[in-house]
Structure 1
Amino acid sequence: MRQNLRALYDHLVPHLGRWRAEILDGRLIVSPLGTPENQWMALLLADAFLPLARERGWRVYPGLDVCLPGSRDPFEPDFVMAPKDAPRWGVREVFTDGLVMVGEIVSPGSAEDDRDKKPGIYAGGGVPVMLLVDPLSEPPTVTVFSGLQDGRYTESASVEMGKSLHIPEPVDFELDTVIFLED
């Protein structure tokens, strides 16, 4: 079944244009890239981390095709930070275990997957840090998952949007989440 989904994914992706295709729990999920607000928040993340990334020889991407080693299950986080020479599968996909951090921005169509499934998926894929920007929660929050151990995150910290959030190693950065409240 998984091979058939991967084959369908490989066939569809070049033809989809500006759609996101991911395989989550054996489901092929094809969805629009997100609302303008979602895209704006991804750009704000990239802008906030760009100086740090340049200083350390990393790259930031508001959206990048990544895949889990072994399964090659594809994902497209809203934000990715990775070394410029992160290991790839072919020319398109970067392996998750070569990333520094991923970020997901919760939207109405992705809320359950982003909140409940993606932390486990990215931890299982070896991503040291995951950031979850949740403008839909009441109040809006930003959560960081870290402490990667045995394929799961052992630590998390949340703040209400507008407050500062420490992003732990290997990033070690203070993110002022007020950036998500600006118009």
Structure 2
Amino acid sequence: MQTLPTPPPERWTLSTFPKDAPTRAELIGGRLVWCAQTGWHMHVTSELQRLLQVQAPDTFAVLYRMAIKLDERTAPEPDLSFRHAHAFDWDKSVLLPDEIALVAEVVTPGSEEQDRYVKPIIYAAMGIPTFWLVERGADDAPIVHEHQRFGGVYQLKRTHIGRLKTEVPFPIDIPLAAPKP
């Protein structure tokens, strides 16, 4: 069993973020937030990353769980992010919002509140143009809700069932199929 680190009196910051924090820990408003992954989440996230990376032009990189800094106390780690390749740096561990074109969160029962309500507000405040909320359909296939930022908030542009086909941030056309055991 892992012992959780004791928070500092003024809350956590990027500079005081504990090196021994639990896996998948994120810094949200000076608090450590984390959620256990499920098999469905892990498969869907890795399959989306694989399929998207194949279609991504050289001007983008599709990244898994890289922190994006809003401020010293908030640096969420989206499940996937689309980073402009011109900003790529192998040694960076925290990205800046202007390097990111799209973020995606794959919802699990334990991450629902953060993924639906908290993180979209943070990503919109960062100025990230596109947000995907990926949910589990009745048949276990992922459903992608594509949101665009307008007036500082995200608005639903379209919901993709069975196939993800969009032009933002680059032409994408991939199947959305249920994971196979």
TM-score range, shorter chain: 0.7 to 0.9
Q: Report percent identity of matched pairs.
A: 22
Once the two structures are superposed, what CA deviation does each residue of 1:68-101 show, in whole Å capped at 9, x if it has no partner? 2x5662100111110233388x932101232021
Which structure carries more relative contact order (alpha carbon 8 Å, separation 6+)? Answer: 2
Distance 1:72 1:143, change over 3 A: same
User: Which residue of 2 is the match for residue 47 of structure 1?
Assistant: 50
Distance 1:16 1:42, change over 3 A: same
User: Which residue of 2 is the match for residue 15 of structure 1?
Assistant: 20
User: Where does structure 1 differ by over 6 angstroms across 4 or more consecutive aligned residues?
Assistant: none
* Conserved? CA contact 1:38–1:105, under 8 Å: yes
Computing the radius of gyration over CA atoms, which structure comes out larger, 1 or 2?
Answer: 2
Aligned length: 170
Query: How many angstroms apart in 1 are the aligned matches of 2:152 and 2:88?
Result: 19
Distance 1:62 1:120, change over 3 A: same
Query: How many angstroms apart in 1 are the aligned matches of 2:36 and 2:81?
Result: 15
* Conserved? CA contact 1:167–1:175, under 8 Å: no
State the AA in 2 paired with 1:74.
A
* Conserved? CA contact 1:145–1:153, under 8 Å: yes
Identify unmatched segments of 5+ residues in structure 2: 1-8
* Conserved? CA contact 1:49–1:60, under 8 Å: yes
Matched, 1:73 2:74: yes
* Conserved? CA contact 1:77–1:103, under 8 Å: yes
Q: TM-score, normalised by structure 1?
A: 0.77
User: Which residue of 2 is the match for residue 122 of structure 1?
Assistant: 123
Q: TM-score, normalised by structure 2?
A: 0.78
- What CA RMSD, in Å, does the superposition of the two structures yield over aligned residues? 2.8
What SS class does the counterpart of residue 46 from structure 1 fall into?
Answer: helix
